[in-house]
């Protein structure tokens, strides 16, 4: 378990940390409202996010360019498995 997770009793913060660790640098993410796919290899020209930017490195104020839903509305895209080397 990471030091970050050991130092908190906040379940929301712990779940956020676990989710962030599941998302690899090349993991595609999908908006669960409109199904827009964020592909790190393409970036997001609408928000001036350059190609090669992992989803976890996008600013928290970034919203879905298709429907305006927040960053937190994204899930792993179909067929994506995230990181396989997570240690709980």
Q: pLDDT tens, 40-86?
A: 999 999 999 999 999 999 998 999 999 999 988 999 998 776 554 44
Domains of the chain: 24-82 (2.20.28.10)
pLDDT of residue 63: 96
Q: What is the DSSP string of 30-56?
A: EETTT--EE-TTT-BGGGTBPTT--GG
Return the bridge partners of 75, or none.
Answer: 30
pLDDT, tens digit, for every residue of 15-49?
777 777 888 899 999 999 999 999 999 999 999 99
pTM of the model: 0.73
């Amino acid at each position: 378990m990471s030091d970050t997770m050991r130092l908190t009793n906040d379940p929301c913060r712990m779940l956020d940390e676990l989710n962030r660790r599941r998302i690899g640098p090349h993991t595609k993410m999908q908006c669960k409202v409109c199904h827009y796919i964020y592909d790190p290899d393409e970036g997001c020209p609408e928000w001036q996010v350059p190609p090669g930017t992992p989803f976890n490195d996008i600013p928290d104020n970034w919203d879905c360019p298709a429907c305006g839903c927040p960053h937190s509305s994204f899930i792993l895209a179909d067929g994506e498995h995230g990181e396989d080397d997570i240690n709980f």
